[in-house]
Every structure is written in C-alpha cells, then in structure tokens.
Chain A
Amino acid sequence: VTSTVLDAALCLLLVSAGAVTLVAVPETGPDGDEARRSPPADRADTLATTLTTATASVNYTLAPGARLASGTPVAFPHTEGPQFERTSRGTVAGLLADATLSGVRVGGSRLDHTGDDFRRGVRARTLEAVGANAQVVAVWRPTPNGPIEGRVVVGPDPPADRSVHAAVASVATDVPTVRRSAEQRVEDGRTATRSASGERERLARRVAGAVVIGLLPPAETRFALRGDYPVTALTRHRYHRLASLLGVDLRGSLAEDPAETNVTRATRLLTAGLADRLSASFHRSSGSPETIESEIAVGRVRITVRTWGAS
C-alpha cells in the first residue's frame, strides 16, 4: 500500500512538473515582452506613425516675437496686424519639428518668441492627433549636454503607477547634418596624430556651423532682411539675440540698412561664438571625440510618444 501511495504521489509530482514546464516556457523565452505585445505598446507605435503621416494646418501670428522682444537694438514699431499672420501646413511631426526648433533655448534662455503662438497651435494639433493618455515629447538636441536645446512637450506626464509604452520617430529638419564625407574620414585617418582636443575643436566648429545655419539660414535671412517689416525686424532680432546669448558682437555686420548688412560675416561670427561654447562642453564631457560624434544629432528632431492605459 505504502509503495502504491508513493508511486502515485511520485507520478502526480512528475506530471505536475511537466505541466509547469509547459506553462513556463513561453514566459521565460527571449524577447518575450516584445514578441507578445500588449495593446498599449501597439498604440504608441500607431501614434508615432500617425504623427509622421497625418497632416495639419496651423494659423498663427508672429506677433509675440515682436511684443516680447527685448534686449536688442531692434525696434518694432508695430506689434500686431495682418502682416504678422501666418499659416503653416505639414505633417504633425514636421510641425512639431518646426515648433521644437522655433523654441530653441541657448544656455537655458529662449532665443526668441517668434514661434510662441506657433507652438501653441502645434501643441493643440498634436493633442488632437494623439488624444488622451499620451504624451509627445519632441526634442532637438544637437549635442549631448550642450547649450542648445529645443523641446516641445505635449500632454501630461505619465502617471507613476501605470505601465508606459513608448515609440520613437525622428524627423529630418532643414538643419544641415554633420556628416563627414568619406574623403574627410580618409583624411582624418591619415592624420591620426591629431590630438583628441583638436578633434573636439573641429567637431565643435562643424556642429556650430550647422546649428547656426539651421537657426539662421543665410540664404533665407538675406531674403528676409531685404523684405518687409516685421520679418526684417524679427530676423535682425534673432541675430542680435543669438549673438548676445553667445557673447558675440554683431555690430558692423548687421544694421538696419540692408546695404550695410553682411550676413556671411554675421554667420561666421556666430559660428565662432557657438563653437567656443560647444568645445567647452565637449571638453567637460568624458567621452572620446568619436563617442561624442556618435551622439550628435543636428539634422533631426526626436519625437517620443508615450502611452499608458486608461485608469
């Protein structure tokens, strides 16, 4: 009897172990959390796709740029009127990228307020596109821990007690990319003796050039400076503001009279000023030039979509 009881008990034990094995296998498999997606994660991806494909139109005014302008010699005789009215159309992601760049901060200070109303409009459009229980964060950070950053946040922070799913999209901007051509790489390889600090300097100059051209594209500012108020004043204000934030003196290269304005020179001065700031930040960072370069993202804006389940 005893043996029979033991036998049966052993059998039951083994059968249980087998069952447990079968149940446990899928859950402990590799990539389990991704292989079996939960619905909220799907939603984040879907929203990211929506942002890059859906189009929206934003009516806005450039007036805050004139109204809130200060700290530069540029005068704004009018701060409202139809000449401030603008419309922008594009994909929501594209609008978000524009909004991010328009709200760029240098060393923590906002460059200007020209895009304030635009950002308000873009936030509203984005919110319409993603709905509740989602947050969209668009970030333009050309260098890690650098002085330049633009960020637009749409929607509330996710609640701490909810599981959050995220998707990431990146949008190309008009800012030129900092990509070394093959020739440059070869050349760099040949001059391997170059010091790491020199490498950082060069990288800073490249990034600074791209960023300045991205913020104030010379071909277009030249146009704008010869155009009509308020665009002329806003553009000059942007130059002066960037200059003052970078500690650069633009007198002599940017005047009210377009004839006395030298955009090329202004761009060069601003680039030099920003390069100094960037190289300082590169020196502070511990990474090698190659590491830093791999983290540079001048030409695109990263858009992160976070979603969470309804409470």
Chain B
Amino acid sequence: VRLADDRRARVPFALVGVLLLLGSTTFAVTLSTQRAPAPTDEDVQTAIERAEASAGGVVRDATDAAARDAARNPVLDPAETPTGRVLNDSTAFRDALRIRIYHTVRNRLGNAGSRSGDVVASPSLPATPNASALRDAKGRVHVAGVQNGTALRVTVENVSIVARERERGVPGLTGGDGAGGPADSTGRWDAPVVGETEETITLTVETPVLALHERTERFEDRLNTGALDGSGLGRRLTAELYVITWARGYAQYGGLPIQNVLGNHHVEVATNGGIVREQRTVFGRADPDAAAGTTRLALHAGQEDLAVLTGGKKIPWAKLALKERRKIHDGGKSLPGYDRGGSTPRTDDTLTVGVNRTADAALVALTGDSTATGRGTADGTEARSLDAVLADAYEPSVRLVAETHGIEDEDEPDPDAPGTDWELVGSDADRHTSVRAATRAPDPTIPGGFHRLDAFDRVVVERHHVTRRWRRGNETRTTHASWTDRTAVGLALVGDHLPRDVPDRPVEPVHRTGGALDGPNLRAVPAAARAELVDSRGGPDAVAERVVTGGLDGRRATVAGDSPDDLGRWVRADLVRLRNRVANVSVTVPRGDVATARANPPARLADRIRERRDALLSVPPRRYDGVAEVARISARSAYLDRVIARLESRADRTRRTNERVGEALADTGAPSRDDLGEFLRSSRTRTPPERRQLVAGPGDPITVVPDGSPAVLTVVGVTRDHVPAVAPGHTYEPMTARTTNVFTVPSGEIAAGVISSVAGKEGHVSVGTAGKRLQQANGTLRHADDAELRVRRNSLRRTLADRVARAETRAAEVLEGETSLSTAARRRAVARGVARWNTTGERAIALGNGSLATAIAAEAVAEGATEGPDAPSSQVVESQLDVALSSTDFRRRVAVPVGDVKPVNRLAEQIARKLLKEGLKRGISNATELAKTEWADDALGSVPAGLPVAPVPGYWYATINVWDVKVRGQYAQFTVRARTGGPTDPDAAVAYSRDGEAVRFDTDDDGKRERLGWNDPIDFEQRTAVVIAVPPNGNGVGDVDGDADERSPGWPMPGCRARNCLDEGNASTGRFSGAEGDPRAIGVAPPQQPPGAPAIERGEQLF
C-alpha cells in the first residue's frame, strides 16, 4: 500500500511520530542550553556565605598571629611620624594591635575565597598606602578584652566580599602560592561581578595579649608604688629592709662584729626579693631565674658581709648571681641569712623603760644628803627634806575657834539731858567685864580637817557705864547711865593632825600612846596647844573675853609633838620599800617609736606614777594607826612628788632631745620624724600574698612566666656575659642604690649636737665603754701578741685602774657618811666589793653599769653596816652608793679620755681581722659560727655607733639609728610569656616584651617598615627609710665602716652608662635616659650630662 494511493486523506502515524521527535529534540536542546551558563542566585549566596565563614577563620588565626607580634613588640609610646600619629597616646598598645590585626587579616584573606558552582566569592580589605588610610583601617578594627583579658573580642568592620563568575578552565582554588593576592585564587578581577556585600566579622579569639600588657603595666606600677602609697614594691622593700636592719642591728648590738648594718648589697637583696614577690603577685609566678638568683644574691651578700669583716676580697657577686642562671630552676624561697631569728625584736616589740635610777635619786635627795643629790633642785621650791616632812607630821596646826550667842543685849540709853538748853559736851564710857563659866554655850563650828582638842564655855558679862557731861552757860552737870550685855561664848581649841598631802582619814590613837611604833603620838599636843593658845593668852576667861571684844587671834599655830625616837629609821625603811616598788614601775614603748624619736618614756612614767599614786601611798583604808603612820604616808607622798618632778624634768629633756633628733635628720636630708614613722608603719603593713593567675573564663589557668634580663637587678654593672642584650664592651647598670646612714661615728658631731655626751664630758668615753675596750684588747692579746697593742693596752689599764681607785675612795666616803662602820671595816668592804672582779677591765665595766656599787653595798652589809640602832637599811646603803657612783659629777670624774681608747680600738680591730682570716681558712664559714668561737667573742669589738637617746647622762634608754635608702632599677629587657601557642612558634608562647626598642611595622606593603613607636623598658625608683632602736649600753647600732653615704657605682642613673649600650637597636627610652627622668623626684642631684652632648632622645640616630 502506497501512501499516495490512500484516498481517505489519512495522516500517517509516522508523521505524528516525526512531529513528536522534532518537538522533544527542540525541547531537549532548549533545556540543556538554558542550564549551563547562568549562575543561580543560590550559588552566589552560598559562595558569599562560605567566603564569610572562612573569612571568620582567617580573622581568628590572623588575630592570634597579630597579637603575638604586637606582644613581642608592644608600642607604649607612639612615634612622631605620620604613621606613629595614627596611634593614640593613651591607647598606643591597643591601637598598634588593631593595625597589626588589620594587616594580618588583609594579607591572609587571599586564602579565604570560596566558590559555589561557577561563582567565586573573595573577601578583601583595602590597602593602607598612607596615614589616613591607616587611620581608617584602625577604625575598622575594634578589640576588647574578655575573660579577664585572656581573650580578645575582635571586630573587623566592612569586609568586602565580592562574588564573581568564574571563567571556565581557570584552576580556581587549587592554584599555586597564592597567599599574595586575591587575584590568584578566586578568579579574575575582570570577571563579571555577580554579587557584592560587606560584612562585619566579630568573634572572640583566645589570646592573652591584653592581659599580658595590662599585667606588665600593673607590675611596673607596683614597682613604682612608694611605701606610703599603697601595696607594692616600696612597702615590700621597706619591710624587707626592716627585717635585715633589725636582725643585723641587734646582732651588732649583741656583739657580732658587724661593720655595715645596712649597705647597698642588702638593699639589692631586699629589692630583688620584693620584685620576686611582686612578680608572684602580678603574674601568678616569679621568674625562676630571678628567684634563684635572688637566693644566691642573698647568700653572696652574706659572704660579702663576712668578707668585709675579714678584710678579704670582695666577690663579684653579679657574676655569681647571674651566671649559671640556666641551671637552676627551683623557686627561690625566702632569703637565707636574713631570716628573722626568733630572738630578734621587731619594730612593734616594746622597749621597757623603768623609773629605775630616778627612784634612787629621788630617795637620796629626800633623805637629805645634799651632797648626793647633786642635780639641782629640779623638784623646785616644794621640796622638803624628809626631816621636815616628819616634823610636819608631828606638828599639827592648832587654832582657836569661837561661837557667841547674845543672852542679853541692852541698848545704850539715850542721852538724858538734865533740862532744856543743856548741851552735851562729853561722855566717858566705861566697861566692866566679868567672865563666868557657863553651862550652856553655842558650839563653835569646827573647820574642815580640824577636830576639837579642848573646849571652854563662858558667859561674858559686860557692864557698861556712861558718864555724860552737860553744860549750860557756866554751869555743868553730869549724868550717869548703865546697861549690861551678856554673851555666851563657846570656845574650842581645834587641831589638824594631817599634813596637807595626806589623804583625809581619822587618826586613832592620836592623843595617847599607841598605834604604830607605840609612840606618844600627839599625847602632849592638846596640853601644849592649850598652853600656847590659851594659857599664854591669859587663860580661857581672857580668851573668851577677847572673843566678845573682837580680839580673838584665830590664826593657826603649830605645836610640836614628840616623835618617837625610831620614827626616822622606820620611815626610811618604809621609803626604801616604796623605792623598790617605784623603781620597778615601768612603761613599754614600741621600739619603733623610740627609733623614730617620737617616744617620751619619762613623761609616760610620770603619768603612770600619778595614776598609781594612791596605790603607792598605801593609805590605810579606814584610819591612820597613830601619827607615826601619818608621818610615814606623808613621807611617801613627799617621795612620790619628788619622783614625779624628776621624771617630768627627764621628760622635758627627752622632748627637747627628740626635737633635736628631728633637726639633725633635717640637716642630713633624711626623711622627717613623721615620715620615718610612716615608713615604719608601712613596713608593718603586710602585703597579702596574693597570687593572681590568669584564668581564661571558666577554663584552665594560663601559665604566665615573667623573664627579666637581667633576671636579678644588681647594683654593679653587668656586661654581655650576663645580659646578652648588652653590646660588647659596654656595661649596663641594672640598679643603682644609695644608702645613707644618718648617725655614724664619723658623723659623731650630730650626736654631740643632740646630747651632751654619754660620758658627760667632751672628748671622753664612759668608763664602762673604756673597760670593754680594755677587755677586748686583753682578749686579742691572748691570741696574738702585738707590742704596740700591749703598750697601748697597758696605758689604758693604768688609766682605768686610777678610775676604779677614785670609785673606791668615793664609796668609802659614802659609807662613812651613811654607816657607823669603822675605817678598817669600810676599807675592807670596798676592797672586797671591788675584788669580786678580777681584772681592771671588768671592774671598769662594773663601775659603768652600777654593779660595783651593789657589790660594795653587799660587802658593807656583810661587814655589819646595817647593824645597830641608827643603822640604815641595806637598800639605803646601796642606793646611796649607787647614786654617788653614778652621779653626773662622778661620771665626769671617771670618764676616760678618748685618746686612751682609740688606738687600742684600732689595733685590736686590725689584729682581730687578721685572726678572723685565719679562722676562715680553718673552715669557719659563717658569721653565726664565727660568733660562737671564743676568740671572736674576745677579740672583736666594734666602735660605738648610733645616736644614744640620753636626755640626761645616766638616763640613756636607747640608741637609735636611721638609714635613708634610695634605689632605682631598669630591666634591659623584661618579657612575660603566656604558654599558649603551637610548637612552630619557637617560644610556643605569647611573649610580651619590653626593652625600649623602636617598633616598626610595614603598614603600606612597600617592603619597608614604618616606625610606629617605642616600647619603654620596665624601670622604677623607690625611696624609703629604716630606723632602729636598741637598748642602751653595748655599742649601739650603726655602720662603722666609715662609709656613711654608700652609693652604688652607677648612682644615680641605672641603665646604659654609655649611650646605646644595648645592641640590636635598643634605644632605651626609659625615664632614666635623657631628659625624661626627673631626678629631683627623689631628691638626688641631676645626672651629670656630658657637656656639649645633648641627650639624643629616643635613639633618633638609629633611623
């Protein structure tokens, strides 16, 4: 069948099939061509989202890297360049960090492109070819510390993300080293842009860079915090210096041969110890090298002390402290050799000051040996001798008192003229008085304190007559008139038994025998008083009459009663008991107050006696047991008055002495007394041992380790051997110190100006001190014979023997006056007392400290001085001897010329040093051991030092001294590391470093680094003062090596001695370089600038 033959006009199926085929083909072609080239919105969006996400990752890693760089080269001080000016002065570090973050992010964004389908999205930030672009860039980045600064919330604003259609065949993301630019990896710049957006990325990056910066700043702040300003190095330094000074000062006082109580090497140890503790406080842990180095430094300081002692060679301890630093990694404990021994007093421990000798002096003055008092009448006109006091007690004052009562009182009759015209020309009055005993009479009022001894009642009758004469013309006439007045008179004879200074109590018995001592009391007094006041005036009638007629003599009179024979003895013995109680009255004053010349113990003693006066008087509670007891209490009262008066005069002198100490301090430029007190208080303020570890939010602590270079700041210069940053051939001074001892021997004029002299005589030393020297010389001679010393020693011994002989003579005189011992017995007592000591030196010492008087008194008692009716008590004998041998006059007489002592001193010291050196060779290794050896004890003496606080010779209660300490330091490099980071970083840590270098950074991608600014080295300065007070006697306390004003080699400026002594471009921009530092801030002379060499600031020459 052919198709053409078909006449039914049928459309073949095949034709329909062809049409269908054509249609599907067309559709298929349309379908396939539509898909491929046109990117969908979905792709653009996906690509941009991915780019955004990976840009976030880039920001994170770049921030971490930038933070490491910023920490390694922190900008503290923006440069005066267009680039530097982009940084804000106050936030230079953060600003530099922001710029670094911007640049690192920008450089790394090249890898952050991502694609989806044919769309490549690439994030980017604009370049910063100039300062204004840099400023914009800085504005795009914000940083804030979160989680205690251990993390950084960083915001990068307006990261532009551009999506482009990718050309076919471009390798895309798998390209070569494309970190350099976005073009390499994310498509061609000329490709059509299909999407564009700007994103702000904010995320938190865990990098402790801000915490490191902030803590390091705090560390530097605390190093510069003065002792009075708060918690910080100043306070630690002061506390540490107090420990050292008091330990060494008391050791010196205790006889250890210490020449330099507080020197720069101690300041060095204390400062470094304080810095180590500050590091622990601020960073949570200390530089291990610093801790170990400080320990070694302390050890070497101890050895140094010993070396000075022996005249040996000083050890260059900087080398020892800094060398081998890498080998020791244990933490330094407290400083060995400077631990406070258990027995060393602290500043708030008290010094006990008693009335002591004042009690004797007052007693001797009271009991009337005028030759023994010798100190004038400090107690003024009130002073009565004991005899007067006793007599007063037995001499009550008596007087008459009267009371009258008119019984009859007639008026005088009016003139009665005989008649008119009579003129009264005159009148004569006449009175006739008669007195009768009366039964009733008014009782006179008895004045307070008096009581009635006798009474008389009388009626006085007065008959008055008046005769008047009248006249009239030549005629005269007389008239008479009379009247009578009758008055009852009560008369009383009253007496007052109690002296004024005795508390009011009844006395019983009083007018009869009995009571204490069973004496007559005032038995005879009423009679005597009557005889005196009544009988001698005509008897009661006459007196009564006188009362009425207005002529009563009501004045007091005294009548002497008979005192018992042994009253004086009894009262004296009682006074001796009281003296013992008074002598033991003491007050405690903090040693620190004494040391700062702000204490006045005598004034407080006087107050104490006043407070306890009643108790000391021992007044019987209800009544006096007879007049003898009144006399006894009266004597006690008089004694206490004298003690108080003497104490007040001591207090007055102490006050003046304290003021003069203040003036002396002002003269030497040391801090004032009040400032010393403040420093002292700050030394007691404990700095809490806080350790602040860095904690990242709720997570683990971040270990932060400080690392100073040099680890230990020495007061001697260091070289490249110790601090690698120091350029070859240069010296770097990490620390400079100046320690001034205010009261030293060479500056003895100060002491002389403040007090007379302990010996009481210019150019003389006290006999006790001289005795000590003699002993030391003897000890030295026992171990080493030296001809010259022997000669000098003999001369001193002769002088002292003479002084002891004078004391013997004086003691014999006292015994003669006080006791009834025979001449032979007196001589024996004195000789035996002196013989208790074997050598002249010991005797002189005994004379100096008063034990000689005690011994002689004891021997005198043994000889029978206290036996017999009139014999004094042993206490009296002792007091008399003591007062006599310690009176100012006598002390002057036995003082020893300084010329006798000094050569002995000098020679003994030389020989002792020689001996010590040998001892050291024998293996004695430390000072404590040294002190234990007998020859050191014998042989070594030290020169007296310090300021004896002795307002009156003989009342020396403390020796004080003051050290004025100034210290400055600077680290060549100070690095703080937080142990976070990958092992590709050689430190595997974020290292924040301060070294004074310039910070440079390529901000405009031109291959050259622009200067951003500088980081400042860590530096500090401190000033403080230490005071010490030791008990009297001994050698006092102070530096006796003759170097009162000790300055470290580099003083006053630490750091480079020459300009730029640090290599690698360290320009050292610390405050101590150039004109920045204000040396007057701590009161030192400005540094010597080499003339004609203007300080090159900030290392400009480097660029």
- Residues of A at under 8 Å CB distance from B? 1-4, 6-8, 10-15, 17-19, 21-22, 24-26, 28-31, 34-35, 45, 49, 52-53, 55, 57, 59-60, 62, 65, 77-78, 82-83, 85-91, 93-95, 98-99, 101-102, 114-115, 118, 168-174, 177-179, 181, 216-217, 219-224, 226-229, 231-232, 234-235, 238, 256-259, 261, 293-300
Contact between chains at A171 and B61 (CB < 8 Å)? yes
Of B16-24, B237-245, B627-635, B880-888, which stretch is located at the interface? B16-24
Contact between chains at A55 and B18 (CB < 8 Å)? no
Across the interface, B17 reaches (CB within 8 A) one of A10, A29, A229, namely A10
B177 at the A/B interface (Cβ < 8 Å)?
Answer: yes
Which residues of chain B have C-beta atoms less than 8 A from A181's C-beta? 1007
Chosen A-B contacts, 30 in total, with CB atoms closer than 8 Å, are A2-B1, A11-B15, A14-B16, A14-B21, A17-B24, A22-B27, A24-B28, A25-B28, A65-B983, A86-B979, A87-B700, A89-B64, A94-B61, A115-B982, A168-B173, A169-B54, A170-B111, A170-B173, A171-B61, A172-B58, A172-B111, A179-B177, A223-B993, A226-B725, A227-B977, A228-B707, A235-B986, A261-B724, A294-B176, A300-B178
Contact between chains at A231 and B988 (CB < 8 Å)? yes
Q: Which of B61, B108, B1007 has the most CB of A within 10 A?
A: B61
Of B29-37, B841-849, B858-866, B903-911, which stretch is located at the interface? B29-37
In the bound complex, CA of A207 to CA of B707 (Å): 34
In the bound complex, CA of A29 to CA of B37 (Å): 11
Given contacts A21-B21, A217-B986, contact A172 B110 (CB under 8 A): yes
Additional 18 contacts, C-beta under 8 A, given A6-B14, A217-B986 = A24-B28, A25-B32, A34-B117, A35-B36, A35-B117, A52-B58, A53-B54, A83-B329, A85-B703, A87-B702, A90-B61, A114-B983, A170-B179, A224-B986, A224-B987, A229-B329, A231-B988, A257-B724
Contact between chains at B23 and A18 (CB < 8 Å)? yes
Across the interface, B25 reaches (CB within 8 A) one of A12, A18, A235, A298, namely A18
In the bound complex, CA of A223 to CA of B993 (Å): 9
In the bound complex, CA of A10 to CA of B11 (Å): 13
Which residues of chain A have C-beta atoms less than 8 A from B702's C-beta? 87
Contact between chains at B983 and A29 (CB < 8 Å)? no
Minimum Cβ distance to chain A for residue B809 (Å): 76
In the bound complex, CA of A55 to CA of B152 (Å): 14
Contact between chains at B24 and A18 (CB < 8 Å)? yes
Across the interface, B53 reaches (CB within 8 A) one of A52, A77, A98, A114, namely A52
- Residues of B at under 8 Å CB distance from A? 1-3, 6, 12-18, 20-25, 27-29, 31-32, 35-36, 50, 53-54, 56-58, 60-62, 64-65, 72, 107-108, 110-112, 114, 117, 173-174, 176-181, 185, 206-207, 288-289, 326-327, 329, 700, 702-703, 705, 707, 709, 720-721, 724-725, 973, 975, 977, 979-989, 991, 993, 1007, 1064
In the bound complex, CA of A45 to CA of B50 (Å): 10
Contact between chains at B60 and A95 (CB < 8 Å)? no
In the bound complex, CA of A171 to CA of B756 (Å): 86
In the bound complex, CA of A88 to CA of B179 (Å): 24
Contact between chains at B72 and A223 (CB < 8 Å)? yes
Which residues of chain B have C-beta atoms less than 8 A from A8's C-beta? 13
Which residues of chain B have C-beta atoms less than 8 A from A219's C-beta? 72
In the bound complex, CA of A181 to CA of B1005 (Å): 10
Closest to A231 in B: B987
Contact between chains at A19 and B24 (CB < 8 Å)? yes
Which residues of chain B have C-beta atoms less than 8 A from A6's C-beta? 14
In the bound complex, CA of A179 to CA of B60 (Å): 24
Minimum Cβ distance to chain B for residue A168 (Å): 6
In the bound complex, CA of A226 to CA of B711 (Å): 11
Across the interface, A26 reaches (CB within 8 A) one of B32, B54, B65, namely B32
Closest to A87 in B: B980
Across the interface, A178 reaches (CB within 8 A) one of B28, B54, B177, namely B177
> Which 9 interchain pairs have the tightest Cβ spacing?
A14-B17, A18-B24, A11-B13, A98-B982, A10-B14, A3-B1, A11-B17, A179-B180, A25-B28
Given contacts A18-B24, A30-B36, A86-B979, contact A174 B65 (CB under 8 A): yes
In the bound complex, CA of A45 to CA of B114 (Å): 10
Given contacts A86-B989, A94-B64, A170-B185, contact A99 B57 (CB under 8 A): no
Minimum Cβ distance to chain B for residue A68 (Å): 13
Closest to B65 in A: A174
Given contacts A10-B13, A52-B53, A78-B329, contact A87 B986 (CB under 8 A): no
Which residues of chain B have C-beta atoms less than 8 A from A59's C-beta? 700
Given contacts A11-B16, A172-B111, A297-B177, contact A99 B58 (CB under 8 A): no
Q: Which of B62, B181, B988 has the most CB of A within 10 A?
A: B988
In the bound complex, CA of A197 to CA of B993 (Å): 44
Contact between chains at A231 and B24 (CB < 8 Å)? no
Minimum Cβ distance to chain B for residue A21 (Å): 5
Contact between chains at B176 and A296 (CB < 8 Å)? yes
In the bound complex, CA of A21 to CA of B700 (Å): 66
Contact between chains at A226 and B14 (CB < 8 Å)? no
In the bound complex, CA of A199 to CA of B36 (Å): 43
Minimum Cβ distance to chain B for residue A246 (Å): 18
Minimum Cβ distance to chain A for residue B281 (Å): 20
In the bound complex, CA of A98 to CA of B207 (Å): 16
Contact between chains at A22 and B173 (CB < 8 Å)? no
Q: Which of A10, A53, A102 has the most CB of B within 10 A?
A: A53
Closest to B63 in A: A90
Closest to B709 in A: A226
Contact between chains at A220 and B985 (CB < 8 Å)? yes
Which residues of chain B have C-beta atoms less than 8 A from A172's C-beta? 58, 61-62, 107-108, 110-111, 179
